[in-house]
Structure 1
């Protein structure tokens, strides 16, 4: 049997003793990298560690340009693999070749909050856009994942970046409105999302928008909008690593609560 198939099969079977034996021979770099991607996808920290120490590239692009970190974020239930890869040099903002998606995109698509927290703490760009210009936030909105949306907003993502969804260029707010997701709609408005109607055939017109916001969500839109624009300006100045910087700055608690969007932690 070909040594590449033997190595990959050992990784898939979690057979570390056989893998060690195969690695004693002359192993091509691509085989090591493929094995690392499989181990990262499966969440096997012991094998990931072994392969890394044997020279596998933690930033390798294989299988359509996916890196071990992206595969771990998308498939692995073991966040310790994600932590290990980051701590040992994986680039958190490296994107796949074809889809142009980062590990944060993958975690947002999957809806795994702990992975999102780890990646953002390591410096992942919350506003990265993939080949359809979708940000992690837009993916989360498209999946109706309110918890993921809330986390990305609190970590200071840009709530107004548009991307292509089903052939249309949509903002997160417009997408949430079209999906009739009032919980996410409210969070986005409180985070400063703007309603912008740029194409005439959108089913959501300005009258519908005001009715939803003022009647269904009980938000007086104009004063809230002005307040949010002030908040956005300050939050943008604290990028990157917004949460870390906010914790370090000496400010009255009310101002910290204002900047951290503390109202997202209430049910009101």
Structure 2
């Protein structure tokens, strides 16, 4: 698809433009031949959308999608553009892909990782918030839980129960060896990610598989607390214990979390992880990265578009950007905003509204009232984003039942008839050299060279959370005295075959 000899030269030019962020070149090529948006490279089968998503070029991502690029296209490893955007923390690209209904539940071929795993392993908490947006209805968690537990009948209560079940199933999806997103966030010491995952029903008692685990040095059958003890972050261990993690859980090696901390020389964790510890565990408030109104404004943006045109009436101009027409209003306070500003507010805000709203509400920028959902203003013309029929399953169709009386999500029948179910990741062999590169474990050395799975991180692709965790780890290395010795891949992982396959795909993007 797009790899014919006639368009290969133009396709490679578009790939270079998508990698380098050359918007003018990309527009010129797509105007000449719009089918180039479906081009894929010969080696790793990466599309221009993969390159633009990995590099964070949001305007080129939107341009490719408008010209018919498949938002759910896979490369040779089965990785989608959403996975690449989450890997490098480009939350704006994640937002754009979700507006075009990217399938968040798809897993790669190598180890069954979803976009949630890629975001958690690198500490991109805003990407986690966006990825789970379609699973969290725009209503307080307390109300949803009370309705689900009190009534098991039909109607809205059963739909809320379905949403809760789908959220729990997605957040606790196990990748290679039974590793969940909570395991990897705890291992790397990303406290914000651990706290958010726990607030959205991540299981603190989840254990890795008793077979096939890729982290043999920690041990099969390990809980997130074992991984947090290996990583050495004190706050991650505290929040896990506060949410019900057990200090007495043994893994398949017969190790307690205390034993893992001693093996990895995390002496500062011993008083906390001791089975007879009498230390007071602090209480933690709900995560400030919860965003209840995100789903409502996402659905409005999918239905009406971003409405970027200016308004002639000054009374209808958004009070935040002073450019676009007001299209949404916060339920409760009633203040109107444009959909682009409301979407930006729900995606980036980490200031909890403790005075006037439940946990997860977003403070209104005009009156600070807690907003739990947005409503579309009347007389706003619907303008569905252009979707190509080859986009496959849309996220909304997967997560929610499309009832005839439901107006929250608009799913076109023709798209539903032409969708193709994704292949389950269970059909593929879950072997990998280093599916989750981590700075908390020793670097592997293959023939005295760094393993290709330990990917370099460029300065412009990192956000504040990895830098902060890196500074903490450097301080902890000074406390440890001497860096832990390196080990080889054969001691840590199953095979190097998948490592080479993933390196083949990623080397095109990282070149």
TM-score calculated relative to the size of structure 1: 0.72
Q: Which structure ranks higher in relative contact order (CA pairs < 8 Å, sequence separation ≥ 6)?
A: 2
1:218 and 1:36, CA in 2 relative to 1: closer, same or farther beyond 3 A? same
CA distance in 1, matches of 2:118, 2:273: 35
Deviation of the 1:171 alpha carbon = 0.8
Name the counterpart of 1:96.
Answer: 108
Q: 1:190 aligns with which of 215, 222, 242?
A: 242
2:50 to 20, 29, 37: 37
Give the 4+ runs in structure 1 shifted more than 6 A. Answer: 208-211, 241-244
CA distance in 2, matches of 1:91, 1:11: 22
Give the 5 Å matches for 1:1-268.
2-23=9-30, 24-25=32-33, 27=36, 29-31=38-40, 34-77=47-90, 79-123=91-135, 125-163=170-208, 164=213, 166-167=215-216, 168-169=219-220, 170-194=222-246, 195-202=248-255, 204=257, 212=274, 214-215=276-277, 217-218=279-280
Residues 209 and 111 (structure 1 numbering): CA distance in 2 closer, same or farther, change over 3 Å?
A: same
**Which moves more between the two structures, 179-188 or 139-148?**
179-188
Distance 2:291 2:244 in 1: 16
Unpaired segments ≥5 residues, structure 2: 1-7, 136-166, 260-269, 282-289, 294-357, 360-511
Question: Where in structure 1 are there 5+ consecutive unaligned residues?
Answer: 220-240, 245-255, 258-268
Larger radius of gyration: 2
Number of equivalences = 225
**Which is further off, 172-181 or 132-141?**
172-181
Do the aligned partners of 1:186 and 1:217 also contact (CA within 8 Å) in 2? no
In 2, Cα distance between equivalents of 1:114 and 1:76: 8
1:13 shift after superposition = 2.2
Q: How much does 1:218 deviate?
A: 3.0
Measure the CA separation in 2 of the matches of 1:83 and 1:171: 31
SS of structure 2 residue aligned to 1:132:
helix
- Offset at 1:178? 4.4
TM-score by length of 2: 0.40
Contact 1:156 1:242 in 2 (8 A): no
Q: CA deviation at 1:177?
A: 3.3
Counterpart CA distance in 1 for 2:202 and 2:291 is 10
CA distance in 2, matches of 1:28, 1:154: 39
Instruction: Classify the secondary structure of the residue corresponding to 2:178.
Output: coil
